[in-house]
Amino acid sequence: MNAAAAPLTFSNDLLTGMEWNPTQVRELLHLAADVKAHPDRYRGALAGRFLALIFEKPSLRTRVTFEVGISTLGGSSVFLDHTETKLGQRESIPDVAKNLERWVQGIVARTFSQESINALAENASIPVINALSDRYHPCQALADFFTLQERFGGLRGLKLAYVGDGNNVCHSLLSIAARAGAYLRIATPAGYDPEPAVVSEAKRTARETRGKIELCNSPEEAVADAQAIYTDVWTSMGQEQESAAREAAFASYQVNNKLFAHAASDAVFMHCLPAHRGSEVSGEVIDSPRSIVFDQAENRLHMQKAILLTLLN
């Protein structure tokens, strides 16, 4: 982290978002805002640093923002395409980690399994950043709360509703909402709830920050008076065989104008993208002026630059 930002001692890795405490999350949000407002201040801050990008899944926002981010900070990246040969198949994950730590200063990994992310971190002495796994998407959630902070001026007590699948994005929203002191309501169909351990950790943290975490099965209950409504795809990468069952289970969970009528008058719509118009969200919502999905996408760049500055500097 830049010396002027009064750095705290952060965990060496970003694997879940739960390794950073509320004060550290606030510090990271502050740094992202400064990076966005004063990009020239950080040019060359990571000169000579190299970043390995390991991707088992397709990517637009994550890959581009990390590559552009490290480049504008003065560093370079190496892309390792594992969409055909999964990480650990050709060579063990410990061996991959031990090789990479000799050449680069950080690893960004997008994997099907959280265990693969953990194994990289356990076997590499350099920082490992989770760029999405089956359980967590911390970079996305941090950028989302940065976007909400920009929009509403603060996060403590802010009312966010999440409607849909209790998936990796939902897990990370839980963790960061709790650390930000926000009020998060989650509506999922029965059987698609977020993992109990993630919910329990978020509720414990929320008690410290005076935030609030609530789970329900009613979309209308979740969005009542909400300032932001968030949804994600009903079928994540790797779950394609479940798509028909999921379409049926989530049919009444679409975010549309009818559901939005229950939210606050100035409520905004959020989605991590890519989106399926006509499924989890109607076109009339995602393409309306209240949609801030492209603000979220832009802020992935600024947040990822803040993460890199924090862990690689």
Mean pLDDT of the chain: 95
Residue at token pair 């010396």: 3
Catalytic residue among 135, 137, 171, 179: 137
**pLDDT per residue as tens digits for the range 157-211:** 999 999 999 999 999 999 999 999 999 999 999 999 999 999 999 999 999 999 9
CA separation for the pair 313, 304 (Å, rounded)? 13
Catalytic residue, chosen from 110, 135, 271, 302, is 110
Q: What is the pLDDT at residue 70?
A: 98
* Spatial separation of the C-alpha atoms in residues 227 and 217, rounded to whole Å: 19
Q: Does 300 qualify as catalytic in the annotation?
A: yes
pLDDT band at 313 (very low <50, low <70, confident <90, very high): confident
Q: pLDDT-derived band of residue 9, with 50, 70 and 90 as boundaries?
A: low
232 is catalytic: yes
Q: Which residues contact 298 (CB under 8 A, 6 or more apart)?
A: none
**Confidence band (pLDDT; 50, 70, 90) for 75?**
very high
- With contact defined as beta carbons under 8 Å apart, do 74 and 49 qualify? yes
Question: Mind listing the domains of the chain with CATH numbers?
Answer: 3-136+299-312 (3.40.50.1370), 140-296 (3.40.50.1370)
> pLDDT for 236-253, tens place per residue?
777 788 889 999 999 999
- Active site annotation includes 272: yes
List, in order, residues 6 or more apart from 133 with CB less than 8 Å away: 110, 111, 112, 113, 114, 116, 117, 168
The residue from 170, 185, 232, 304 that is catalytic is 232
Cβ–Cβ < 8 Å for 74, 43:
yes
> Which residue in 105, 114, 140, 254 is the catalytic one?
140
Q: Does 3 score more than 70 pLDDT?
A: no
